[in-house]
A and B are shown apart, each in its own frame.
Chain A
Amino acid sequence: MSRELTKAMQEKMAGIHGIDHVYADTLVRYLLSFPSKDPRAVEETAEAILDDMTDAQQAGQRLPDNFGQDPQTAADEIVAALPNRSGAQWLDYLWPLFNMSLVGATLDAFWRRPPAWHLADLTTFALFLLIWVIGAVVRGGGFNKLKRKTTLRLGVWLILYFAGFVGLAAVVTRLDHQVIGAGALLIFWGVMTAVSLVASLWRRSLRFNWPILWGLMTVTAAVGPQLSTGWWVALLAVNVAWLVWTAITATDN
């Protein structure tokens, strides 16, 4: 998953103009696209590079002359020299993915009144993941020339994923009578509320958004069948708004 530019980076980037701006933007986004690297070290390095690029441009140099004619090789060497994520940083990174995956896997069940989870819901979730992965690849692969090895690897993964998706769809349409009922789902969402609450109290960077989201889902699913359609839709809208807000703010790590 590719991270967005920080405010400091955007401010520094604003000082770089013309075609050099595209060069700097592509380079920094490429550096940010490596989730295995210490995000703080990546940010500091990107900001330092942008400071130097601003100086170079003010001194009348073109960035390809200043930074190098082969930015991808240089960026790969920088990435190789950056420290890896620590265990705690991995937790910060994977926690939103873990929560978002479970929300995505049970979202179809959540819309139903009363809630019910069908095996076919997995295909919606797989499609959601596929869109996410393609989005990440498009954002991370900004250099004009992706290395042939990288392109091949991405192609193979996408073909394998698509084959898996088709296979999954074929299997679940045969087994779609498998259903998890409202009782089990409520227990699951309740447990996720408790787990995410404890996690956010234990480690602040894991954020308080998740227990609120899981709690909202639990309450909505519990009281939804008794509510009038108008109130139910209103409650769903609150859920969706909080889900979107959580998803937007959850990808900073």
Chain B
Amino acid sequence: MAKIPSQLLKGTLEGALLMIIGRGETYGYALQETLAELGFGQVPEGTIYPLLLKMQRNKQIEAVRHPSASGPDRKYYHLTATGEASIAEFLPSWRQLVAAMARLEGDKGNE
């Protein structure tokens, strides 16, 4: 799978992370794996962590430490009501963008 340019990812990654965390409590490495499985490519942890910290600061997500399935305590993130509101705000904009791009692509096909 081709690597998505980081500039293109930048605007959508925060929304994508919120949506993944919204599916259920998760942690940093699992987020990275899920992004890869979904087709976002290998997004570096160094890109994910600043966003997680920013989302924590904006109270969109909360972090708690508890034992992991594999053993010792680790930090898990879960969505807050503010995070849910952010997703609700992000999705219409995203759909509008996708629709606009699809129309553009369709117009190109009809030329």
Contact = CB atoms under 8 A, between A and B. Distances in A.
Interface of A: 41, 44-45, 47-49, 51-53, 55-56, 65-71, 73-75, 77-78, 80-83
A207 to B, nearest CB: 26
Contact of B45 (A44, A68, A81, A83): A68
Interface residues of B, number: 21
B12 interface: no
Contacts of B45: 49, 52-53, 56, 66-68, 74
B97 interface: no
Given A48-B28, A51-B29, A78-B53, A71 B46 contact: yes
Contacts, number: 70
Contacts of A82: 53
A77 B29 contact: no
A43 B63 CA distance: 14
Interface in B44-69: 44-47, 49-51, 53-54, 57, 63, 65, 68
B4 to A, nearest CB: 15
Given A67-B44, A67-B45, A74-B44, A48 B50 contact: no
A53 B74 CA distance: 12
Contacts of A41: 53
Given A66-B32, A74-B45, 9 more contacts: A48-B63, A51-B27, A51-B28, A51-B74, A52-B32, A68-B47, A74-B46, A78-B53, A82-B53
16 contacts: A47-B75, A48-B27, A49-B28, A49-B49, A51-B27, A52-B28, A52-B29, A66-B45, A68-B44, A74-B45, A75-B46, A78-B50, A78-B53, A81-B50, A81-B53, A83-B57
Interface of B: 27-29, 32, 42, 44-47, 49-51, 53-54, 57, 63, 65, 68, 72, 74-75
A71 B47 CA distance: 10
Nearest to B46: A74
B52 to A, nearest CB: 8
Nearest to B76: A48
A55 B50 contact: no
Contacts of A68: 44-47
B74 A45 contact: no
B75 A81 contact: no
B46 A78 contact: yes
B75 A66 contact: no
A44 B57 contact: no
B28 A77 contact: no
Nearest to A44: B75
B50 A80 contact: yes
Contacts of A55: 29
B64 to A, nearest CB: 11
Nearest to A51: B74
A77 B46 contact: yes
A162 B47 CA distance: 39
A11 B16 CA distance: 32
Contacts of B42: 65
Given A65-B42, A71-B46, A81 B29 contact: no
Contacts of A56: 29, 45
Top 7 closest pairs, chain A to chain B, by CB: A74-B46, A68-B46, A81-B53, A68-B44, A52-B29, A77-B50, A48-B75
